[in-house]
Amino acid sequence: MTDSTPVQTATGTWRELLTGRNAPIAIVLAGGVLVEASNVYLTTSLLPTIVGEIGGMELYAWTMTAFLLASIVTSMLVSRALMHWGAIGAYLIALGTFALGSFICAASPTMPVLLAGRTVQGLGGGLLAGLGYVMLQRALPERLWARGAALVSAMWGIGNILGPLVGGLFAQFGAWRLNFTCLAGAAILLSLVAMKALPRTERGRSDEVVPWVSLGLVGSGVIAIAIASVLPVGLGTVIAFAAGVVLALLFIAHEKRSTNGILPRIAFDRRSPLAAVYLTVAVFAFAIGTEAFVPLFGQEIGLMGPLVAGLLGAALSFGWSIVQVFSANVASAATQRLLIAVGPVVVCLGLAAYGALQHSGPSATVLVLWFVTLFCAGSGIGLAFPHLTVAALGSTRNEEEGAKAAAAINTVLIIAQAFSATLAGMIVNFALPDMVHAARTLMITFAIIAIVGTVFSRRASRGIEQ
CATH of the domain at 132: 1.20.1250.20
Residue 284: closest CA among 397, 446, 58, 62: 446
d(CA 66, CA 133): 23
Q: Name the band, by pLDDT with cuts 50, 70 and 90, for residue 201.
A: low
- Note whether 185 and 320 are same-domain residues: yes
Query: For the ranges 202-206, 210-214, 218-222, 368-372, which has the lowest average pLDDT?
Result: 202-206
Model pLDDT, residue 268: 83
Model pLDDT, residue 2: 42
Residue at 7 is within a domain = no
**In this model, does residue 306 exceed pLDDT 70?**
no
**In this model, does residue 190 exceed pLDDT 60?**
yes
Residue at 8 is within a domain = no
- Note whether 257 and 269 are same-domain residues: no
Across 52-56, 93-97, 288-292, the highest mean pLDDT is recorded for 93-97
Q: Are 41 and 163 in contact (CB under 8 A)?
A: yes
Residue at 373 is within a domain = yes
- Note whether 272 and 393 are same-domain residues: yes
- Note whether 52 and 159 are same-domain residues: yes
Q: Which residue has the higher pLDDT, 46 or 358?
A: 358
Q: Name the band, by pLDDT with cuts 50, 70 and 90, for residue 42.
A: confident
Residue 7 has φ and ψ, to the nearest 5°, of: -90, 155
Model pLDDT, residue 399: 62
Model pLDDT, residue 371: 94
Across 101-115, 220-234, 330-344, the highest mean pLDDT is recorded for 101-115
Q: Which residue has the higher pLDDT, 401 or 6?
A: 401
Model pLDDT, residue 7: 47
Query: For the ranges 177-186, 312-321, 437-446, which has the lowest average pLDDT?
Result: 312-321
- Note whether 325 and 425 are same-domain residues: yes
d(CA 67, CA 80): 21
Residue at 1 is within a domain = no
Model pLDDT, residue 10: 46
Across 75-89, 102-116, 280-294, the highest mean pLDDT is recorded for 102-116
- Note whether 398 and 441 are same-domain residues: yes
Q: What angle do CA 150, 458, 408 make, to 5 degrees?
A: 50
Residue at 252 is within a domain = yes
Residue at 98 is within a domain = yes
- Note whether 97 and 167 are same-domain residues: yes
301: three-class secondary structure by DSSP: coil
Model pLDDT, residue 115: 92
The count of domains in the chain is 2
Model pLDDT, residue 132: 86
Kindly give, in sequence order, each residue whose CB lies less than 8 Å from that of residue 160, ignoring residues fewer than 6 positions away. Answer: 37, 38, 40, 41, 288, 291, 314, 317
The chain-wide mean pLDDT, for the chain, equals: 84
Kindly give, in sequence order, each residue whose CB lies less than 8 Å from that of residue 47, ignoring residues fewer than 6 positions away. Answer: 60, 63
Q: Which residue has the higher pLDDT, 344 or 270?
A: 344
Q: Output the pTM of the full model.
A: 0.76
Q: Name the band, by pLDDT with cuts 50, 70 and 90, for residue 394.
A: low
Q: Name the band, by pLDDT with cuts 50, 70 and 90, for residue 170.
A: confident
Residue at 173 is within a domain = yes
- Note whether 323 and 437 are same-domain residues: yes
- Note whether 455 and 310 are same-domain residues: yes
Residue at 73 is within a domain = yes
Overall average pLDDT of the 69-75 stretch: 84
pLDDT tens-digit readout, 327-363: 888 878 888 889 999 999 999 999 999 999 999 889 9
- Note whether 244 and 325 are same-domain residues: no
Q: Name the band, by pLDDT with cuts 50, 70 and 90, for residue 9.
A: very low
**In this model, does residue 49 exceed pLDDT 90?**
no
- Residue 203 host element (H or E): none
Q: How many CB atoms lie within 10 A of CB 102?
A: 28
Model pLDDT, residue 162: 82
Q: Name the band, by pLDDT with cuts 50, 70 and 90, for residue 447.
A: very high
Q: Name the band, by pLDDT with cuts 50, 70 and 90, for residue 121.
A: very high
Measured CA distances, 195 to 24, 129, 188, 400 (Å): 10, 18, 11, 22
Range of the domain at 219: 212-261
Model pLDDT, residue 4: 47
**In this model, does residue 400 exceed pLDDT 70?**
no
- Note whether 142 and 246 are same-domain residues: no
Q: Name the band, by pLDDT with cuts 50, 70 and 90, for residue 207.
A: low
Burial 243-269 (b: 16+ CB within 10 A, else e): bbeebbebbeebbeeeeebbbbbbbee
Q: Are 111 and 49 in contact (CB under 8 A)?
A: no
- Note whether 267 and 257 are same-domain residues: no
